[in-house]
Structure 1
Amino acid sequence: MKKTILITGAGSGIGLDTAFALAARQHRVIATTIDEAQSLTLKAMALTKGLSLEVFKLDITSAQDREKILSLELDVLINNAGVGESGSLAEVDIDRIRHVFEVNLFGTLALTQLALRGMIQRQRGTVLLVSSIAGRIPMPFLMPYSMSKFALSAAGAGLRAELQQLRCGVHVALIEPGAIHTGFNQAMTESKYAWMGKQSYFAAHVARLKAEEKRTFQFLEAKTTESIVSQIVKAAEAKKPKLRYVAPWIQGFGVRLARIFGV
């Protein structure tokens, strides 16, 4: 059955590739972006590929933008929009952490609540929350981002259990990507070096940190988004999605082992 699916953060990376994959499967895809410039670019790309997308700007931190979805009868909401931030919790500006939570948790939850109004009334629907493997195991120097994803994963699991008590036919699932080469990870890890100066506790360690980050991503990152996009498509099309969809699977397995051994 073809569905009406809205995805946030569709201007690049996983969101963009997911929007195209769902449109290719003949779903009605409403792909939203952070600004008008990305919307125009996305429309042009879809036209080039011969795919039908409905595109508009939706900044999930804007109440006015969020209300745009109230007129839509959504079968699936894919909460993909998110931002990254890095830096040691010993010194990172609290406002930077606050901004990450404003987008990754509060904006996401506020949009979800609006979508749930219609879904609960119609007694059907699926909400997918794009969290991260980083939301299951602490990631040193990535904790501003990692904490927000820990919170989002907890919110998703709790909301799923709450809606199950309503028996309203609305499902919630978590999408947990691992390290995938989209440029997001590099931009996030680099963000801390914009403000870390000679006064930083870690000033003497910057060269080592940069080298370790480069090696880690070269080793871990999947080269394409194909594995996680296929999981998102599977979750969006499922009648009763499971709680978690993880890809690449080997990274998810590694996280499970790390938690078992108390890492």
Structure 2
Amino acid sequence: MNKVILITGASAGIGKEAAKQLLQAGNVVYGAARRFDKMSDIEASGVRVLQMDVTNEQSMVAGVNSILKAEGRIDVLINNAGFGAYGAVEEVPMSEAKYQMEVNVFGAARLIQLVLPSMIDHHFGKIVNISSISGKFALPLGAWYHASKFAFEALSDSLRNEVKQFGVDVIVIEPGAIKTEWANIATENLLKVSGQGRYKQMTEDFAKMIKSMDDSTAGEPKLIANLIKEVITTEQPETRYAAGYMAEELLSMRKTMTDREFDDMLSSLLNRK
């Protein structure tokens, strides 16, 4: 059966690519994003677009209600909207830290609250939370981004065990490095916040590392889009999937290395002694 799907962050990258592929597979796809004008291409192809800000209660309620009114149900929610607020803990303004959590955690959680009653009524639903390998380990200068993804992972685990009794699956996808706008936005924010002062050298090294991965080794958004398409058609999906540059390798190292060993490995990546 074709599914009614809502995907956030559909204006670029993974979200836009996933919306295209899920539509081509015959589903009814609603793409939501703040940047409504950036979705004109997928709208032309048949994706039904919504202007939605995951930090704005009214826009989330209105978006979900409009889908329920038109379709009678929402089968799949893909929480993909997110960004990375980078900078040293000492220097990131608390207002930015709170906004990071608002977008990456609380907005997704509120959408889950809004779609669950319909899923439970139909005894079917799939909630796909796009986390990151950054939800399993933390790099320097990314504390608030990592904190948001660690929280998203925990929220997903609790939710999974609450709603499986109602026929609802909760699936976490953990991308590694992917070619999206995320890297440029994160780097610009990092340089603005910590590009001067005591963290300047570390910041420059880190920005260089991110850019090198994005330019030469990062995976294409279609890699994660394909994975999303696969997991929502799997009858008994795994709880977690990882894909993208160095995703499985880094997750394996985090499991087997001590904290000190992992810290040393990160230092070598940043060319720091």
Q: TM-score, normalised by structure 1?
A: 0.89
Tell me the residue number matched to 1:111: 111
1:227 is the counterpart of 2:185: no
**Is contact 2:91-2:194 (8 Å) kept?**
no
Tell me the residue number matched to 1:183: 181
Q: Which is further off, 252-261 or 56-65?
A: 252-261
Opposite residue 239 of structure 1, the aligned amino acid is: E
Deviation (angstroms), 1:46: 4.4
**Is contact 2:105-2:151 (8 Å) kept?**
yes
Tell me the residue number matched to 2:74: 74
Runs of 5+ in structure 1 lacking a partner?
Answer: none
Opposite residue 66 of structure 1, the aligned amino acid is: M
Q: Which is further off, 244-253 or 226-235?
A: 244-253
Q: Which is further off, 181-190 or 57-66?
A: 181-190
Q: After the TM superposition, which residues 73-152 of structure 1 pair with which residues of structure 2 at under 5 Å, given as runs? A: 73-152=73-152
Q: Among residues 177, 181, 192, which one is paired with 1:194 in the alignment?
A: 192
Deviation by residue 1:84-120 (Cα, 9 ceiling, x = unmatched): 1100113211111110100100011011111001111
Q: Among residues 201, 208, 211, which one is paired with 2:208 in the alignment?
A: 211
Give me the CA root mean square deviation.
Answer: 1.9
Q: After the TM superposition, which residues 220-259 of structure 1 pair with which residues of structure 2 at under 5 Å, given as runs? A: 220-222=217-219, 224-248=220-244, 250-259=246-255
1:56 is the counterpart of 2:50: yes
Local SS of the residue matching 1:202: helix
Distance 1:169 1:209 in 2: 43
C-alpha distance 209-247 of structure 1, shift in aligned 2 (>3 A) = closer
Opposite residue 70 of structure 1, the aligned amino acid is: N
Tell me the residue number matched to 2:256: 260
| Identity fraction in percent | 31
**Is contact 2:43-2:49 (8 Å) kept?**
no
Opposite residue 122 of structure 1, the aligned amino acid is: H
In the comparison of the two structures, how many residue pairs are matched? 253
Runs of 5+ in structure 2 lacking a partner?
Answer: 263-273
Opposite residue 140 of structure 2, the aligned amino acid is: P
Deviation (angstroms), 1:32: 1.0
Q: Which is further off, 138-147 or 127-136?
A: 138-147
Deviation by residue 1:11-62 (Cα, 9 ceiling, x = unmatched): 0000000000000111010111113323xxx233442xxx321111011111
Deviation (angstroms), 1:204: 4.7
**Is contact 1:85-1:189 (8 Å) kept?**
no
Opposite residue 209 of structure 2, the aligned amino acid is: E
Q: TM-score, normalised by structure 2?
A: 0.86
Deviation by residue 1:183-215 (Cα, 9 ceiling, x = unmatched): 3112202212223364x3213544434333333
